[in-house]
């Protein structure tokens, strides 16, 4: 008996078992690993979910929800990973993580800088070294560079002081 392999069938793989598995993982995450939205400072932009994902995707952000908690009413979850050679923690792999929520004026985007979960799972899950000012400073820089109008919401006073001092290490729930 001879078995043949039809390579053309592979193009449908994302539409079948893997797509169902990914959807199941998403459901489990939303059902068992959801938390209330943190009250971190954020920006509001006149974008919807697809526009924000395209805008940030063009700036090397990728969907990262598979390895993160789900915050209630979250509709955008993107991250950009980078290597930081001289971080005081000694850890080298970090991510800027941006979450988005519906807002009456568009989309609320909140960012933080944190250990990359695949490389530093314990620090990530424990919420060690989360730096909200640094994440938001990165987000604001991206928006300003692209000429995107935004409005700050939340308590930016402390965040601005910390960012001006080069950012701080802040422990918050991840």
pLDDT at 29: 58
Four-residue CA torsion sign, 15, 16, 17, 23 = positive
Whole-angstrom distance, CA of residue 107 vs CA of residue 102? 5
Whole-angstrom distance, CA of residue 168 vs CA of residue 145? 23
Q: What is the DSSP letter of 9?
A: G
Tell me which H or E stretch contains 156: helix 156-164
pLDDT at 156: 87
The distance from CA 4 to its chain's CA centroid, rounded to whole angstroms, is 43
- Rounded mean pLDDT for each run of 10 residues along the chain, 174 residues in total: 67 67 61 75 96 97 74 88 93 95 95 90 84 96 97 80 36 32
Q: Name the residue among 118, 100, 117 with its Cα closest to residue 109.
A: 100
Q: Which two tokens stand for residue 16?
A: 């079948």
Q: Give SS3 for 127.
A: coil
Q: How far is CA 50 from CA 25, 96, 162, in A?
A: 22, 19, 32
Q: Name the residue among 157, 168, 161, 153 with its Cα closest to residue 37.
A: 153
pLDDT at 93: 96
Segments of the chain assigned E as strands: 34-35, 42-45, 62-63, 70-71, 74-83, 93-103, 106-115, 150-153
pLDDT at 167: 36
pLDDT at 164: 35
The bridge status of strand 70-71 relative to strand 34-35 is parallel
């Amino acid at each position: 008996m001879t078995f043949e392999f039809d390579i053309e069938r592979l193009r449908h793989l994302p539409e079948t078992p893997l797509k169902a598995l990914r959807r199941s993982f998403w459901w489990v995450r939303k059902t068992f690993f959801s938390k209330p939205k943190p009250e971190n400072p954020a920006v509001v932009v006149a974008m919807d979910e697809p526009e924000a994902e395209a805008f940030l995707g063009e700036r090397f952000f990728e969907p990262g929800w598979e390895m993160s908690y789900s915050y209630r009413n979250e509709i955008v979850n993107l991250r950009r990973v980078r290597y930081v050679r001289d971080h005081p923690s000694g850890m080298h792999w970090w991510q800027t993580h941006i979450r988005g929520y519906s807002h009456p004026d568009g989309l609320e985007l909140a960012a933080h800088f944190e250990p990359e979960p695949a490389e530093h799972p314990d620090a990530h899950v424990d919420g060690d070294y989360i730096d909200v000012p640094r994440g938001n400073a990165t987000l604001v820089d991206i928006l300003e560079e692209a000429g995107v109008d935004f409005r700050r919401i939340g308590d930016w006073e402390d965040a601005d002081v910390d960012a001006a001092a080069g950012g701080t290490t802040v422990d918050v729930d991840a």
